[in-house]
Amino acid sequence: MLYSEVVMDHFMNPRNVGTMDDADAVGEVGNAKCGDIMRIYLKINNDIIEDVKFETFGCGSAIASSSMATEMIKGKPLSDALNLTNKAVTEALDGLPAHKIHCSVLAEGAIKAAIKDYYDKNGIEYDKNMFKEVDHEHAH
């Protein structure tokens, strides 16, 4: 079978879908390969991600990846979310087909972009190298 049961579950019943009116940070990235877009909203309190929502104009794998990624960062400190890799998300999904791996990068990128937005809005200093990929994706 092409997709794991976990992928199918998160695709059919995605967690944390929607927008957030009182978000503390929003991150959006586009995928250069397919043109799909991912937007992540974060509610942050004391460096903890209290709530997270996502919207995507993306494929099923992007939906499943974002659903899983939001579950993995909810209730966690920002530092944990910054360390979340698309590899960890893919593993949690029991794998994605090779040609769909780039879809999971979208979720990772949008989370990083949202955290960058939070740092920028609140005047928190950070190492710009942390967000190299985010800027890179915007550049395309």
**Half-sphere exposure of residue 92, counting CA atoms within 13 Å on the CB side?**
19
CB atoms within 10 A of CB 133: 15
Buried b (16+ CB within 10 A) or exposed e, 40-68: bbbbbeeeebebbbbbbebbbbbbbbbbb
Q: How far apart are CA 58 and CA 97, in angstroms?
A: 16
Rule CB under 6 A: choose which of 26, 42, 103, 134 binds ligand FES: 103
Q: Which residue type does 32 have? A: A
Query: Among 17, 59, 88, 101, which residue interacts with ligand FES (rule: CB under 6 A)?
Result: 59
Task: Note if 59 is an active site residue.
Answer: no
Residue 58 binds ligand FES, judged by CB under 6 A: yes
Which among 10-18, 56-64, 69-77, 127-135 is the span making contact with ligand FES, rule CB under 6 A?
56-64
Among candidate residues 34, 75, 120, 124, the one labeled active-site is 34
Catalytic residue among 49, 72, 103, 107: 103
Q: Among 106, 110, 111, 113, which residue sits at the site for ligand FES (rule: CB under 6 A)?
A: 106
Q: Which residues are catalytic?
A: 34, 103
